[in-house]
Structures are given as structure tokens and as C-alpha cells.
């Protein structure tokens, strides 16, 4: 693999994913409106019900909106990852995947670039959401927005790799809606996106354990701490490890010799 070829392919894949996403204006609007509805409606209602004590990284009592904003940013990454995964299955059924996989570049590279391309697409939307969240008094330190960038990229790659793995396992487009319901909702609700861990402990210790084991929790906490200029090393380690495992399994899934996909004779 020559560096120049690798670079041109990366650029080509990013441009293609951009063009496709930009032409789906409905999807873009939904991606932005969804977390804003959560923030404006759900969080407003919850605020009165749910009291929050001082939890790191926050040094004072915070409004529920402030607590939930990083979780909603992670939710945007999660939804986007699942939609990208759906697009992979669609591409496979439409034969578009073959165009990618017959390029003279290593498969792991092609898949990694596609992952990265899709994370780069969703990032501007996440930042737009964080900017709009200021209207709800979600105001992390200015430098926090910059510090959150690597956290958002890693979290996006981890969730995207999970989506890629799913796309290699799911046989048909029709099955995908079911898979999404079984992935998005448990990942989101059994995490610290909406309620801090001690709240979950109060409700049910086993739920708290599920949340602790849920990689999405660690993605959320990585982003939350980064926004307040702190590094949560456990979250970083778990997110990075989850990315490595999911991506390695996804590559296996798309391997021409061993892949689940190759065995079934679809392409």
C-alpha cells in the first residue's frame, strides 16, 4: 500500500460518504433535532423529578440539562453509527460494497477509512448541538470543546466499529430494524447517559452493573469528563479496548476466507 494511494482513497471515501449524507437532508435534520427534543422536552420534565448531587466532573450542583448534554452528544454518535451500519447492509444488498472491496487496498484499511469518514461527518452536527445547548445553559469551559474532540472521535469509532460488526453479521436489510431496537435502546438506557451511576445503584444494583459493563457508558463518561477538561482513564481504556475488539471482529466478519459473509456466498 503506497502512502499516496492510501491518501487518495481516504479522500475519495470521505467525499463519497459526505455527498451521500448531505443529500439526505431529512436524516441530517433528524440527527440534530432528536437530541434537542431530548434536551428541551425530556430534560425539562425530568429536571423537577430528579435531584442530582455533586458528581465528578461537576464541582457544583448542575442542572439536569447540563448533566444529560454529553450523553445526548454520545447518543448522536450511537444513532449515526447504527445508520451507517444500516447503509453498509444496504450497500451490500445493492452491490455497492463490491466496488469498495475490489479496490487494490487492504480490506482492514478500506473498512477503517469508511469508519473514520463517517465519524468525520457526524462531528460538525455534534458541535452544532453543543453550541445550541448553550441556550439551555450547558456551558462547559471553552477549551473543553477542543478537549472533547479526541473523545468524540474515539467514541464515534468505537460505536461505528460495533455497527460495522453488526453489518457483517446481519444477513438482510429487513432484519436490521429489529437489531437496532435491541442495540440502541438497551445501550442508551442502561448507561450513564441519562442518570448518574449512583442513581442507578439506588434503583437496582444489577442495572448499575450492566451500566458499568456497557461500553456506551464509558463513551459517555469519556466525553463528559473531556468537556470539563478532565481525563477519565478507565473510560478511555474501556472505550479504546472496545474499539479494538469490535473492529478486529468486524474485519474477521469481512474476511474473504473466514468471514461469516464469505461462507454464505453473498457479496
Partner 1 sequence: MNALEIRGLSHGFGRVQALRDVSLTVAAGSFAVLLGPNGAGKTTLVSLVTGLYRARAGEIAVLGHSVRREPLAALAGLGVVFQTPSLDLGLTVRENLLYHAALHGLSGADARDRIAAGLARLGLGDRTNARARALSGGMRRRVEIVRALLHRPRLIVLDEPTAGLDAASRRSILTDLRAACREEGLAVFFVTHLLDEVDSDDPAIVLREGAVVWTGAARDMPAAAGMATVPDAFLALTGAA
CA distance 260 to 211: 30
Contact pick of 15, 30, 149, 237 for partner 1 (by CB under 8 A): 15
Cα–Cα distance between 82 and 216 in angstroms, integer?
Answer: 13
- Work out how close the CB of 106 gets to partner 1 at its nearest, in angstroms, rounded to a whole number: 7
49 touches partner 1 (CB under 8 A): no
What is the DSSP track for 8-57? HHHHHHHHHHHHHHHT-HHHHHHHHHHHHHIIIIIHHHHHHH------TT
Q: What are the b/e assignments for 28-61, b being 16+ CB within 10 Å?
A: beebeeebbebbbebbeebeeeeebeebebeeee
* Residue 254 and residue 85 in contact, taking contact as beta carbons nearer than 8 Å: no
98-157 residues near partner 1, rule: CB under 8 A? 98-106, 110
Minimum Å gap between C-beta 160 and partner 1 is 20
Nearer to partner 1, 15 or 203 (CB): 15
DSSP state of 251: H
5 binds partner 1 (CB under 8 A): yes
Q: Does 13 interact with partner 1 (rule: CB under 8 A)?
A: yes
Which of residues 2 and 48 has its CB atom nearest to partner 1 in the complex?
2
The region of 93-101, 123-131, 132-140, 202-210 touching partner 1 under the rule CB under 8 A is 93-101
Instruction: Please give the C-alpha separations between residue 256 and each of 10, 100, 218, 253, 267, in angstroms, as whole numbers.
Output: 22, 13, 33, 9, 10
Which of 6-14, 39-47, 117-125, 134-142 is the region at the interface with partner 1 (rule: CB under 8 A)? 6-14
Contact call for residue 19 and partner 1 (CB under 8 A): yes
User: What does the binding site for partner 1 look like in residue numbers (CB under 8 A)?
Assistant: 1-2, 4-5, 8-9, 11-13, 15-16, 19-20, 23, 94-96, 98-106, 110, 256-257, 259, 261-265, 267
Amino acid at each position: 500500500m503506497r502512502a499516496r494511494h492510501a491518501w487518495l482513497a481516504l479522500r475519495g471515501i470521505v467525499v463519497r460518504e459526505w455527498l451521500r449524507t448531505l443529500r439526505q437532508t431529512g436524516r441530517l435534520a433528524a440527527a440534530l433535532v432528536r437530541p434537542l427534543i431530548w434536551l428541551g422536552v425530556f430534560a425539562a420534565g425530568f429536571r423537577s423529578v430528579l435531584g442530582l448531587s455533586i458528581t465528578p466532573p461537576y464541582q457544583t450542583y448542575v442542572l439536569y440539562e447540563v448533566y444529560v448534554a454529553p450523553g445526548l452528544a454520545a447518543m448522536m454518535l450511537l444513532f449515526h453509527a447504527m445508520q451507517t451500519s444500516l447503509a453498509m447492509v444496504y450497500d451490500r444488498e445493492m452491490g455497492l460494497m463490491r466496488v469498495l472491496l475490489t479496490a487494490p487496498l487492504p480490506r482492514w484499511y478500506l473498512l477503517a477509512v469508511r469508519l473514520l469518514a463517517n465519524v468525520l461527518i457526524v462531528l460538525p452536527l455534534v458541535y452544532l448541538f453543543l453550541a445550541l445547548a448553550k441556550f439551555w445553559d450547558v456551558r462547559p469551559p471553552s477549551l473543553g470543546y477542543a478537549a472533547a474532540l479526541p473523545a468524540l472521535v474515539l467514541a464515534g469509532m468505537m460505536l461505528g466499529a460495533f455497527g460495522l460488526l453488526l453489518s457483517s453479521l446481519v444477513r438482510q436489510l429487513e432484519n436490521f430494524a429489529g437489531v437496532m431496537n435491541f442495540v440502541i435502546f438497551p445501550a442508551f438506557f442502561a448507561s450513564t447517559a441519562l442518570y448518574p451511576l449512583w442513581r442507578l445503584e439506588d434503583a437496582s444494583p444489577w442495572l448499575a452493573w450492566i451500566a458499568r459493563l456497557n461500553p456506551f457508558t464509558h463513551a459517555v463518561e469519556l466525553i463528559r469528563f473531556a468537556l470539563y477538561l478532565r481525563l477519565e482513564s478507565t473510560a478511555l481504556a474501556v472505550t479504546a479496548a472496545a474499539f479494538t475488539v469490535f473492529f478486529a471482529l468486524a474485519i474477521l466478519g469481512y474476511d474473504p476466507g473466514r468471514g461469516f459473509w464469505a461462507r454464505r456466498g453473498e457479496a
